[in-house]
């Protein structure tokens, strides 16, 4: 068996990315958390059938839950398939939860998933504590990125 065929060797492979998160929010802090998944869910994750669009974190009775993440049904699961939009519990250390609970209770802050990745065969999600951007902030970011692209393009021509 070759080393690349080992499922544990897929360390750090990004399965899904929330592209709109950095556009819509100011990222203040990030955490990595595990997910509680069923067998058919992890097989769909490894197949890349995941969408983080519209997903968010919720605090319920001292635990963090991920709502709105879509993991497509696994074709070969038969009658024991999972609900694609069910809430999934996030696994975090107690000290991380305490810090997170205090921060989320502040007005205007929310939990947003940035990406879903596989680390040593385990599904992990990178969660961010974020504050929503105003429309003028989004426009400023777009102008700054466009200016940076133009500067890099101009610098490439000079070489």
pLDDT at 11 over 60: no
d(C-alpha 61, C-alpha 78), whole Å: 34
Segment holding 51, helix H or strand E: strand 50-51
The domain total for the chain is: 1
Assigned domain for 116 exists: yes
Q: Please state whether 44 falls in left (phi above 0), alpha (psi between -120 and 50) or beta.
A: alpha
pLDDT at 141 over 80: yes
What pTM did the predictor assign? 0.74
Q: Is 82 helix (H, G, I), strand (E, B) or coil?
A: coil
pLDDT at 8 over 70: no
Give per-residue pLDDT as tens, 90-111: 999 998 888 888 777 777 788 9
Assigned domain for 139 exists: no
If you average pLDDT over every residue of the chain, what do you get?
83
Assigned domain for 16 exists: yes
At 9 the pLDDT is: 41
Assigned domain for 76 exists: yes
Give per-residue pLDDT as tens, 40-93: 888 889 988 898 988 988 888 888 999 999 888 888 877 778 888 889 999 999
Assigned domain for 75 exists: yes
pLDDT (mean) for 3-14: 53
């Amino acid at each position: 068996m070759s080393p690349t065929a080992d499922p544990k060797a897929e360390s750090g492979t990004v399965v899904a990315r929330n592209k709109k998160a950095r556009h819509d929010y100011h990222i203040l802090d990030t955490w990595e958390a595990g997910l509680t998944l069923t067998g058919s869910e992890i097989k769909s994750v490894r197949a890349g059938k995941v969408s983080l669009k519209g997903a968010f974190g919720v605090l319920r009775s001292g635990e963090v839950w991920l709502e709105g993440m879509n993991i497509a049904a696994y074709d070969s699961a038969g009658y024991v398939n999972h609900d694609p939009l069910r809430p999934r519990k996030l696994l975090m250390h107690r000290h991380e939860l305490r810090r997170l609970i205090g921060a989320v209770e502040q007005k205007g802050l929310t939990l947003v998933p940035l990406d879903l990745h596989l680390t040593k065969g385990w599904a992990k999600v990178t969660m961010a504590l974020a504050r929503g951007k105003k429309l003028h902030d989004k426009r400023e970011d777009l102008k700054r990125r466009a200016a940076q692209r133009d500067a890099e393009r101009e610098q490439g021509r000079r070489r």
